[in-house]
Amino acid sequence: MLDHVRDELRLLYHGHTPGAVRFRVAVLAVGLLIIAFFIITPVLRETTSFLWINYAVAALLAADVAARLLASTNISRQLQQRYTWVDIFILLTLLLPGWLGNLGFLRILRLWTLSRSGLLWRPLRRFGITEEAAQSLANLLTFLFILTGFVYTFFFRSNAGMAGYIDALYFTVATVTTTGFGDIVLPGPLGKLTSIVAMIIGITLFVRLAQALFRPSKVFYPCPDCGLQRHEPDAVHCKACGRLLAIPDEGE
């Protein structure tokens, strides 16, 4: 029975049938809705329905983590992946909101785990967006909302609600882009250190995104001899060592 369930899940998560594609699109849509909930959690936290939504999201995330583990051909290897442990941590913050509530801003890391699972960037291929570009964009957005959540939690919590969250987001974007209007600043040494980290990491992520968008598109295929990973899509030989390559097509 379990083997049958695992076979069905592998087909749904990794197959190419129309049903499998529709399933992954549905999983992606639910995943993006969950991320939207994580983003607006500071605004919803004081509402009466927050805990009900919180535990419903926990159930959905737990089901996805369990299904991906069962769909894996090597569960122990899947458990060693960083994105699996990040998802488990996010699940813990949902199950223990009273104890881990102040770490709720880290839940947006779910966007990063989605980008690593392939669910996020594979549908974007039809628009000419490469895996590297999609992951770079996901990294930038993840950092922006993590920093926004951190700033809101530790600096703007007294000004709770939508206004405080917008102030935190405004400060984050102005700092990361190095615009620096100066109308909203963080007080104290911790505020200055937060601004420094935001500017350094933000510039780095913007540069990575620009590189991924504008440099020639390449595919990731490790050369068996020299280990070079990035090659032209139509490459026949490795440009570093000359090894004959057999790069699979995207549909394979």
Question: What does 88-100 look like in DSSP terms, one character per residue?
Answer: HHHHHHHH-HHHH
Q: Specify the DSSP class assigned to residue 102.
A: G
49-78: b (≥16 Cβ within 10 Å) or e: eeeeebeebbebbeebbebbebbbeeeeeb
Q: Specify the DSSP class assigned to residue 220.
A: E
pLDDT > 70 in the chain, percent: 88
CB of 199 within 8 A of CB of 175? yes
Specify the pLDDT at position 251: 44
244: which strand partners?
237
Closest to 64 (Cα-Cα) out of 102, 90, 97, 96: 90
Specify the pLDDT at position 127: 60
Specify the pLDDT at position 218: 67
Closest to 45 (Cα-Cα) out of 153, 117, 146: 153
Higher-confidence residue: 197 or 247?
197
CATH 1.10.287.70 fits 121-217, yes or no: yes
Kindly state the average pLDDT of the residues 45-57: 88
Kindly state the average pLDDT of the residues 146-156: 88
Q: Out of 51-60, 126-135, 161-170, pick the least confident.
A: 126-135
Specify the pLDDT at position 252: 42
For residue 162, pLDDT beyond 90? no
Specify the pLDDT at position 158: 66
The listed range with the strongest mean pLDDT (50-59, 69-78, 197-206) is 50-59
Specify the pLDDT at position 233: 67
Q: Distance of alpha carbon 115 from its chain centroid, rounded? A: 5
